[in-house]
């Protein structure tokens, strides 16, 4: 097997960590990027840039030619409710990358999400890969699109048209994060943070480097073919931990305000119609999920990855979280006032 790998979504949080991890292991890495001029930093790190888009099958097939591994990390993400946009990006795009992998004989590793479980993911018992996926409501278009993409990937392996495997990360954080940290950091900079239910619940939060480490194990392990792996609990992180480590990275002093869970539920109940009233009906359906994430324990287990693949994450939260928030602060310093209240 030649050590050449293609990464889609290489400029994103997970994709960039995966590029770094592959390079560290001596792989020749190809990065599929839409705008090469904005991805020169990947080239400087050692990756070869291939201009293309997951919507353009010929460009993907060209980039995948000669590769032994294809990691599909590109995705349409967000809180919108436009099914067609998510279908094109997450189902159509996955189908195109999968076709390219099959045509070139490369193994295909698909990054899904624990969002395929919808709100049902916060169960009272641990959720492993054997738990059936629920039928999601119409407004959960992201989760529905990822469910559909998973079916394509598993069916390809079952038919023997391609070697495939699926990884389901939880919420990720790290340097270059454009989703989680940018939402939390401005709140911390105000100088206080509400700890719903005391902030003692463990979060469904994993460092992107941990996901990249696990992904390489999946892609290089023949027995992982046709399987799903949850990479969802590298180290326990409570909400209180997040606030403390995030404040450290920002150089802020943050007062943690304890809010009883019952009061939080009332507040989030009021928030939902308020969002609709101000024209943010796209955010309204996600209020319950946000409340669950902040008040209920991480429901997922990564035991399969640990036992079958020997997944041993290396980036501890006491180092990774401050680094991620520090990086965010550096990025916005030139355009925003990032001082703490």
Distance CA 128, CA 301 (A): 6
**Ranges under pLDDT 70 in the chain:** 1-2, 79-80, 264, 266-289, 334-341
Query: pTM of the full predicted structure?
Result: 0.91
The 10s digit of each residue's pLDDT in 295-321 is 788 999 999 999 999 999 999 999 999
pLDDT at 176: 93
What the block records as the tokens of 29 is 């890495």
From residue 306, how far is each of 230, 260, 312 by CA, in Å? 10, 35, 7
From residue 334, how far is each of 177, 250, 328 by CA, in Å? 17, 15, 11
- In the chain, alpha helices (H): 13-24, 40-45, 57-64, 83-86, 93-104, 141-159, 180-188, 208-219, 239-250, 261-277, 287-295, 303-304, 317-332
Q: Is 300 helix (H, G, I), strand (E, B) or coil?
A: strand
From residue 104, how far is each of 41, 57, 63, 172, 236 by CA, in Å? 27, 13, 10, 30, 40
pLDDT at 1: 44
Instruction: Choose the CATH number for 4-179+204-234+298-315 among 3.40.1260.10, 3.40.91.50, 3.20.20.140, 3.40.50.720.
Output: 3.40.50.720
Domain coordinates in residue numbering, the chain: 4-179+204-234+298-315
Angle (nearest 5°) at CA 216 between 214 and 219: 110
Angle (nearest 5°) at CA 153 between 64 and 162: 50
The 10s digit of each residue's pLDDT in 206-260 is 999 999 999 999 999 999 999 999 999 999 999 999 999 999 999 999 998 888 8
């Amino acid at each position: 097997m030649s050590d050449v790998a293609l990464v889609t979504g290489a400029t994103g949080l997970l994709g960039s960590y995966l590029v770094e991890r592959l390079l560290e292991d001596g792989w020749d890495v190809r990065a599929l990027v839409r705008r090469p001029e904005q991805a020169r930093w990947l080239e400087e790190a050692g990756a070869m840039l291939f201009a293309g888009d997951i919507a353009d099958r010929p460009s993907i097939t060209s980039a995948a030619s000669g590769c032994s591994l294809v990691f599909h990390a590109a995705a349409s993400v967000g809180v919108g409710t436009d099914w067609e946009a998510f279908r094109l990006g997450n189902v159509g795009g996955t189908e195109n990358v999968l076709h390219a992998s099959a045509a070139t004989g490369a193994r295909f590793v698909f990054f899904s999400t624990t969002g395929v479980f919808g709100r049902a993911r916060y169960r009272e018992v641990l959720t492993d890969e054997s738990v059936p996926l629920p039928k999601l409501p119409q407004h959960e278009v992201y989760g529905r699109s990822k469910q559909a993409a998973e079916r394509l990937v598993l069916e390809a392996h079952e038919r023997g048209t391609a070697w495939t495997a699926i990884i389901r990360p939880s919420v990720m954080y790290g340097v270059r994060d454009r989703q989680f940290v940018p939402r939390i950091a401005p709140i911390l900079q105000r100088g206080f943070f509400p700890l719903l239910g005391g902030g003692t619940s463990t979060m469904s939060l994993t460092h992107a480097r941990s996901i990249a480490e696990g992904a390489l194990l999946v892609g290089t392990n023949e027995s992982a073919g046709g399987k799903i792996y949850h990479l969802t609990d590298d180290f326990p992180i409570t909400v209180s931990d997040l606030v403390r480590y995030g404040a450290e990275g920002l150089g802020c002093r943050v007062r943690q305000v304890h809010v009883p869970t019952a009061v939080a539920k009332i507040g989030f109940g009021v928030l939902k119609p308020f969002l609709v009233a101000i024209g943010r009906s796209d955010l309204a359906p996600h209020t319950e999920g946000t409340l669950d994430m902040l008040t209920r324990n991480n429901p997922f287990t990564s035991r399969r990855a640990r036992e079958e693949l020997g997944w041993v994450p290396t980036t501890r939260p006491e180092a990774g979280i401050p680094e991620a928030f520090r990086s965010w602060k550096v990025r916005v310093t030139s355009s925003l006032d990032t001082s703490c209240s």
